[in-house]
Chains A and B, each alone.
Chain A
């Protein structure tokens, strides 16, 4: 039996067992639910990516362990 025939056979079996949901319509407006979710889980206004925090931590650690870098940093600023 070819792959296509196997898929066709399985498709027939599945369609016999499970009715497609195509055409199922939304019965109510979900906007009030959406508003509730937005109120419950407010979004951060300024989200800083994790790698920015990692870079800032690395820079902070470098300055802490090698204070000699501070004048060099000021020189380049």
Chain B
């Protein structure tokens, strides 16, 4: 029996083989969305737990990698939805170097604040498309939406970010 067939039938050894084959890739995808290595590890385990839980829905002749990525994206999106109000950004968040540190920090803080306030589904596509430069096609496949909807969400996310940034700049200037 093939590995995927054994997995779909509930064979734990087959699941372990698949886990070890795909854990790095699933983790790498999730960390690009949630931007926190510890949370990404937990979500990788959560993703594989969902995969095992719903194994009967998987067709052994299907694409396991794409299926896992879709589930990983949903797990990351669920996290963004729940963590939106609670997450505080770490002080040592990686930031591009610039000759004028003060201006960069202020701009960076404004962008982070604006970014954090984006609704989860817009933050997901904005992170992947604008920061990680992932193709619209890959994002669409992972999120289970059409490519045109990804474009619409990126456009709306950019519009929201601009609006938020402008109001944040106005606040800073007023101070």
Task: Give CA–CA (A19, B162) in the complex, Å.
Answer: 19
Within 8 Å by CB of A31, from B16, B37, B49, B53, lies B16
Query: Is residue A68 contacting chain B, with contact meaning CB distance below 8 A?
Result: no
Residues of chain B contacted by A26 (CB below 8 angstroms): 23-24, 27-28, 41, 44
Main SS class of interface, B? helix
Q: Of B61-69, B71-79, B125-133, B141-149, which stretch is located at the interface? A: B125-133
A18 in contact with B111 given A7-B154, A24-B28, A24-B31 (CB within 8 Å): yes
Set A6, A25, A43: member contacting B53, Cβ < 8 A: A43
Instruction: Pick out which of these stretches binds chain B: A9-17, A55-63, A69-77.
Output: A9-17
Near B by CB (< 8 A), chain A positions 21-64 give 21-22, 24-26, 29-31, 33-34, 37-38, 41, 43
Within 8 A of A (CB), among B27-67: 27-28, 31-32, 35, 37, 41, 44-46, 48-49, 52-53
Q: Does chain A have a CB within 8 A of B19?
A: yes
Chain B residues near A7 (CB-CB < 8 A): 130, 154-155, 158
Interface Cβ pair total, 8 Å cutoff: 99
Q: State whether B37 touches A33 (Cβ < 8 A).
A: no
Contact indicator B111/A17 (Cβ below 8 Å): yes
Q: Is the CB of B95 within 8 A of A30?
A: no
Pairwise interchain contact A21-B35, C-beta atoms closer than 8 A: yes
Given that A19-B96, A30-B41, A30-B45 are contacting pairs, would A14 and B111 also be in contact in the complex, using a CB cutoff of 8 Å? yes
Q: Which residue of B lies closest to A32 (CB)?
A: B45
A20 within 8 A of B: yes
B90 within 8 Å of A (CB atoms): no
Contact B161 A10, beta carbon cutoff 8 Å: yes
CB distance from A21 to the nearest CB of B (A): 5
Q: Decide: B107 and A20 in contact? CB cutoff 8 A.
A: no
Tell me the smallest distance from the CB of B69 to a CB of chain A, in Å.
15
Q: Does the CB pair A14–B131 fall under 8 Å?
A: yes
